[in-house]
A and B are shown apart, each in its own frame.
Chain A
Amino acid sequence: RKEVEQDPGPFNVPEGATVAFNCTYSNSASQSFFWYRQDCRKEPKLLMSVYSSGNEDGRFTAQLNRASQYISLLIRDSKLSDSATYLCAVTRSYGGATNKLIFGTGTLLAVQP
C-alpha cells in the first residue's frame, strides 16, 4: 500500500461546479499536511496547508481527519483556470529529526466550459 493515496481521476467537471478530492495516508505519525497544485509540465506549487480545524482560502477549503487518516480539498465555483493536477503531501520523519514531504500521485482536474 502506498503511503499517500489519491484517486488519479481525471475529474471532468463543468464550470461553476463544486468538486472534492480526498487523500488518505497510512502513517499515523504524519505531522503536517498540504495540497499542491501542478500545471502540466511544471513544478508543484503550494496551494494550502491543511489544519485540524480546517481552513479556507477563497473558493478552496481543506480539511483534515486524523482519526480516519485522510485530508480533503473542496473547490467551489470551479474555473477553467483550476484545471491542473492536485497533489496531496504529508510529512514523516526520515532517519532523524528532519521531516520529509511524501507526495500522493495527484488527481487530475479538468474544468469544462
Chain B
Amino acid sequence: DGGITQSPKYLFRKEGQNVTLSCEQNLNHDAMYWYRQDPGQGLRLIYYSQIVNDFQKGDIAEGYSVSREKKESFPLTVTSAQKNPTAFYLCASSTPGLPSGNTIYFGEGSWLTVV
C-alpha cells in the first residue's frame, strides 16, 4: 500500500541525547515536511524539503536537523539543543505546488517523550 511510514511510533529519550525519527514515503512525492504538535496546539513546521539534497528551515527549526539523501526518506534528528522536545511529530509529503489540500499526506506520527 502507498503511504508514509514513520518510526518509531513511541520513543523515550534521556535528556542530553540525540534521537532520529524516520520518515519514508512510497508515493513518489517530491516535497516532504516535518511538523511538531504539542498538547492542545496546532501543527508547527520544523523543516521542509522540496527536492533531494535540499531542505529549508520552517518556523521552529532550532534544535533539529534533517537530511534528504533519497527522495523516499526524510529523517528528523532531535538534538540535545532542543530544550523541550517532548511532543508529537508528524511527517508529511505532497506533490509539487502544494498545497491543494488533497495532495498532502501525513504519516501516523511519532510520540517522543524525554525522561
Knowing A42-B108, A43-B109, A45-B106 are in contact, say whether A98-B98 is a contact too (CB < 8 A): yes
Q: 9 interchain pairs (CB within 8 A)?
A: A46-B102, A89-B101, A95-B56, A99-B99, A101-B45, A102-B45, A104-B42, A105-B42, A106-B42
- Chain B residues, CB < 8 A from A49: 100-102
CB-CB < 8 A to B97: which residues of A?
Answer: 98-99
A8 within 8 A of B: yes
Flag if A43 contacts B98 (CB, 8 Å).
no
> 1/0 contact trace for A17-46 toward B, CB 8 Å?
000000000000000101000000111111
A-B contact count (CB 8 A): 70
Q: Which residues of A contact B96 (CB under 8 A)?
A: 98
**A: contact size bracket:** 20 to 34
Residue contact B42 to A46, C-beta cutoff 8 Å: no
Which chain B residue has the least Cβ–Cβ distance from A108?
B40
Q: Cα distance A98–B97 when bound, in Å?
A: 6
Other A-B contacts than A87-B43, A105-B40, 8 sampled, CB-CB below 8 A, are: A49-B100, A89-B101, A91-B99, A94-B45, A94-B48, A94-B56, A106-B41, A106-B42
- Expressed in whole angstroms, the Cα–Cα distance for A48 and B44 within the complex equals 20
B31 in the interface (beta carbon within 8 A):
yes
Of the candidates B40, B56, B98, B108, which one forms a contact with A101 in the assembled complex, judged by CB atoms under 8 Å apart? B98
B50 interface hit (Cβ, 8 Å): yes
Q: In the bound complex, do residue A43 and residue B100 qualify as a contact, i.e. CB atoms below 8 Å apart?
A: no
Query: Within B57-112, which residues are at the interface with A (CB < 8 Å)?
Result: 58, 88, 90, 96-102, 104, 106-109, 111
The reply to whether the CB of A71 lies closer than 8 angstroms to some CB of chain B is: no
**CB-CB nearest in chain B for A35:** B101
